[in-house]
Amino acid sequence: MSKNLIQFLLLVSLALSSSCSAVKVEYDANAIIIDGQRKIMNVASIHYPRSTEQYDFSGNLELHKVFQLVHEAGLYGIIRIGPYVCAEWNYGQKEMETFTTKIVNKVKVAKLCAPQGGPIIVAQIENEYGNIVKGYGAAGKKYIEWCAKMAVAQNISVPPMINTCNGFYCDNFKPNNPKSPKMWTENWTVWFKLWGSKDPHRTAEDIAFAVARFFQMGGVLDTYYMYHGGTKLGCTSDGLYITTSYDYDAPLDEFGI
């Protein structure tokens, strides 16, 4: 039986009990393998910076409280370590290596990864770069190679993933490596909101059918994007003409209800 996951954008440290047992995480084309047990995954996305009033890692805003709940609930976690995470968020590119390294080091020191006894089983590298890589020619390929080397150099102890699908439907997606699992890292429950436009909606029946078809066609990991979208009210907008709300018709709305 598969476990659900919570995916976080930009993770930092948490402290786990020394009684947590370490597990080995592997994969093949048909499953995520945790201590020899083959699993398919349903994932719920949450963006920490959109779920707090301040982007702050101190005091009661430390993410260890979140990960304690994740671990206590028997869930696994995925982190998106960059250098670019998209999610209608600024920044990225090579200049983010220092920040990425800092975040990963915090994760390792806090023993958050599954081989250390923590809940994190996968680290996602970059996001949707495959949509534009050809437009940059040799430079685009060089950047992807740099991302891969940077990720390996982090020595994070859990499998990295980069070749994934984002969209409303991913049943026909195939990884570029036949030995890699078919992973849907953003199953768009709807879309972000634009000023002057109607609120987007997607029926639950359409989402359910898309997920069933994805797993029927060999899918291994499906991520509901978003499970809690939150907001950046009082901070910055998400892009040109995009509202600060990131509600996404999520089960938990931007107010946490």
Rounded CA-CA distance 235/191 in Å is: 20
Q: Is the dihedral of CA 105, 108, 110, 114 positive or negative?
A: positive
The owner of tokens 């995954």 is 41
> Does the annotation mark 128 as catalytic?
yes
The owner of tokens 């499970």 is 227
Rounded CA-CA distance 252/1 in Å is: 25
Q: Single out the catalytic residue among 62, 186, 205, 254.
A: 186
Token pair for 28: 């093949």
Q: Single out the catalytic residue among 128, 145, 205, 254.
A: 128
Residue 113 three-state SS: strand
Token pair for 77: 């976690």
Rounded CA-CA distance 11/124 in Å is: 12
Rounded CA-CA distance 134/136 in Å is: 5
> Does the annotation mark 97 as catalytic?
no
Catalytic residue numbers?
A: 128, 186
